[in-house]
Structure 1
Amino acid sequence: MVQLEKYGGVTFSHIADFEIWRLFMSQVIHVKQIHMLYNVTSLFIIGTYIERHLGSVRLLMLWLLSGISGTLISTLFVSPPWNLGTGGSQAIMGLAAAGVVLIYRRMDMSIGLKIATGFALLPAISLDIVFAHYPKPGHVFGFLVGIGVCLFFINGFSKEQIRNKGQVG
């Protein structure tokens, strides 16, 4: 994992040194290929549903805000040098949270969104519990940020803007 620092792994000291590029790169580098495959598959499946409701720009903002904040929080709970933030799981948890919001608010009750949300959420939490014995703080924080961002997007814009997916012009 520490080898990924040169590729974009992030800690708070990197941000203090104004290495802002790491906030984005840390979302796309992964320790294990199977983990990356799961995140990409989750992004594709649940992202398709979320994009229908929020639009592509807001989907990207949701993904980045959940991922960056969750990744940074996750670095606080691991001792150096292993406190390097990598992977997109926190962003996927944010998208899963948006799925939960859309289902809870009855904006999308499709079986597809329910399956996509479960696919994104259940393996991540299950693996956390099996290996760490608790949900990882970065995953929980990414999920909470996802709820907040999604609620902001669906409450902060008119229904017509949501229907038009926030298209400008």
Structure 2
Amino acid sequence: MKTYFSLSTTWAASLIVVWLLVAHALGQSFWMQQSSRDLVAFGAIKGANFRPDDIWRLLVSQWLHVKFPHMLLNALIIACVGSAAEKQTGTIFAPLIGLTGGVLGQYCAVLLEPQGFISGASQAYMSLCGLALVTIRWRSIGGIIGCLGVMIGVGLDVFVSDTGLIKIGHLAGLIFGLLSGLTIRLLKIWNRKDITRHT
């Protein structure tokens, strides 16, 4: 039986490992909420304090979470949706789209939500979900979890947050993933037509 290595599953597992290491460094129990202010020392971002030499935080902050259930949800969606997307786009490409969408989402939040603390992998998982919605079958496990991931992310933003709107970081990640998926679909169609023309 052929084994399949999923970089997205490794990425998801690393979120859990980082949570445990940060909890240990803070001297907290593993299920206790972690303070956004404390997480700044590990790479989280306070939007108003962001400087050009903090650019590394746009990537690193994606491994830091305030709430344990939030971190587990992100890890689950990244593992399931990312693995499904990898089978359509390649082992490297899907996680690269997810992380790039995450960086873009974090940066949009820095610019448009300067008073907030920015961390977490939700922007990245929304990017992966956007990619998956365009590149994989919706009736597959990955497609179903991708749809659920978007609904959960948007639902929490609209019905639980103070603004009643989808967070800019989530929206930016989702749009980036959708556009990346559409680009892949168009390239595949173009390649098929090109092959047909030359046969």
TM-score class normalised by the smaller sequence: 0.7 to 0.9
Once the two structures are TM-superposed, the CA of residue 3 in structure 1 deviates from its matched residue by 2.0
Query: 2: distance between equivalents of 1:138 and 1:64?
Result: 13
Query: 1: distance between equivalents of 2:169 and 2:58?
Result: 14
Query: 2: distance between equivalents of 1:49 and 1:138?
Result: 23
| Aligned amino acid, residue 99 of structure 2 | L
The gaps in structure 1 that reach 5 residues or longer are 160-169
Tell me the equivalent position of 1:164: none
Query: Residue 153 in 1 paired to residue 184 in 2?
Result: yes
Query: 2: distance between equivalents of 1:72 and 1:3?
Result: 20
Relative to the length of structure 2, the TM-score reads 0.68
| Aligned amino acid, residue 142 of structure 2 | L
Q: 1:119 aligns with which of 148, 152, 162?
A: 148
Task: Specify the SS of the correspondent of 1:108.
Answer: coil
Q: Pairwise mapping of residues 10-159 of structure 1 onto structure 2 (< 5 A)?
A: 10=45, 11=47, 14-17=50-53, 19-80=54-115, 83-102=116-135, 108-132=137-161, 133-156=164-187, 158=191
Tell me the equivalent position of 2:22: none
Relative to the length of structure 1, the TM-score reads 0.79
Query: Residue 6 in 1 paired to residue 41 in 2?
Result: yes
Q: Is the 8 A contact 1:66 1:91 kept in 2?
A: yes
CA RMSD of aligned residues (A): 2.1
1:48-74 Cα shifts (integer Å, max 9, x gaps): 110100111101210111100011112
Closer, same or farther: CA 60–129 of 1 in aligned 2, 3 Å: same
Tell me the equivalent position of 1:166: none
Extract structure 1 runs of 4+ deviating beyond 6 A.
none
Q: Is the 8 A contact 1:72 1:85 kept in 2?
A: no
Query: 2: distance between equivalents of 1:59 and 1:114?
Result: 14
Once the two structures are TM-superposed, the CA of residue 12 in structure 1 deviates from its matched residue by 7.5
| Aligned amino acid, residue 52 of structure 2 | A
Query: 1: distance between equivalents of 2:145 and 2:157?
Result: 19
Query: 2: distance between equivalents of 1:145 and 1:12?
Result: 24
Query: 2: distance between equivalents of 1:116 and 1:68?
Result: 22
